[in-house]
Amino acid sequence: MRGLARLAAAAALSALAAACASTPRGATSPGDYASLSLCRGVVISNAPAMDRSRRIVNFDPEARVRGTRLLRAPVKSCVSSGFGPRRGGAGSFHHGLDLYTGRPALVAAGGDGVIESVGSLRGYGRTVLISHGGGVKTRYAHLSGYERGVKAGMRVRLGQPIGRTGDTGNATAVHLHYEVIVDGRRHNPLTIGN
């Protein structure tokens, strides 16, 4: 009930603050960077092919976007919500990939770059934005906290921890809301660069 109430409250907020992952049903087992599974009970539109344990078949953990190597899932997690239109939410579109961790987990920089901003944003909660150059950026939202020294202007490497997952902002479960942005447009981290 509490979750539903929070969802209802979330729905009242602006489109920018579109609610993120609800808690997946049943047990989930976060994997590692090399493989990625859909959390149990989660259905996403245009879902990739999965094996019997819900692992994405032929998952490529890295995308190359304008020459930049980017992790498609920069946290050990399972997918709790995909990129695209949401079912049941009138006109609602999810502009990121939700990676459920259950409890706070280390979030890595998706690629080499420079931290552009760190701070709380409405709906997104505690957020880090990294610029990778060439108009490519990645955003990490709903963080519970930042790694020591993380601030605007800091240079980071792919895989370097920048914070921990949380449920700050408009979130109903501890997860990372991950966005890959190219020239200001948000793309599906699972398919970009293919």
| Calpha distance 104→65 (Å, rounded) | 28
Of positions 42, 44, 70, 98, contacts Zn ion by CB under 5 A = 98
| Calpha distance 122→132 (Å, rounded) | 24
Q: Which stretch binds Zn ion (CB under 5 A): 6-14, 64-72, 95-103, 181-189?
A: 95-103
Q: Which stretch binds Zn ion (CB under 5 A): 14-22, 35-43, 121-129, 184-192?
A: 14-22
Q: Which stretch binds Zn ion (CB under 5 A): 47-55, 90-98, 114-122, 182-190?
A: 90-98
Of positions 54, 132, 164, 177, contacts Zn ion by CB under 5 A = 177
| Calpha distance 19→29 (Å, rounded) | 23
Secondary structure of 27-79 as H, E, C letters = CCCCCCCCCCEECCCCCCCCCCCECCCCEECCCCCEEEECCEEEECCCCCCEE
Choose between 154 and 181: whose C-beta lies nearer to Zn ion: 181
Q: Which residues bind Zn ion (CB under 5 A)?
A: 20, 96, 98, 177
